[in-house]
Amino acid sequence: MKKTVVLALLFLQTFWLMAQDKINWYSFEEVVKLTEENPKMILIDVYTDWCGWCKKMDKDTFTKKVVVDYVNDNFYAVKLNAEDKKKKFTFRGKEYSEETMARTMRVSSYPNFVIMDAAMENITQLPGYREADDFVASLDKLMDTFGK
């Protein structure tokens, strides 16, 4: 019995630690509600399923602790599939699919990171693959300019 309890506790602790090492990705609808309750800038990762550089960002950049911590501390993060016509949501009284939202944000290359302020207005885009340190430096520069 004691072994079972100890194993269960170890499993829960491991699960909790693993959960802390990932970016908290939200849906677009969740971020709308979250910014109303607690305003924060938004980082939107616009990707496609066929994009090799997008997959490399997921595997290499988004798994680095410095990126995970920086994004989770400063942004609400959203993944948006630029070719998904099925996922629908309402934003400012209009219905969008992920595809139509990506087009509305004028994203034309992947990966692309759309930055919105806490009022959910587009500030800028950061196109292309970035290594962890460069990605954090780019986000930090934006926070210095727009996040205060």
Tens-place pLDDT, residues 7-45:
444 455 544 444 558 999 999 999 999 999 999 999 999
Instruction: Provide, rounded to the nearest whole percent, the portion of the chain with pLDDT above 90.
Output: 82
Whole-number Å distance between alpha carbons of 69 and 117: 19
**Domains plus CATH for the chain?**
21-146 (3.40.30.10)
**What is the predicted pLDDT for the residue at 17?**
45
pLDDT for 36-78, tens place per residue? 999 999 999 999 999 999 999 999 999 999 999 999 999 999 9
Across-strand partners of 89?
96
Split at pLDDT 50, 70, 90, the class of 97 is very high
State yes or no: pLDDT of 147 exceeds 80.
no
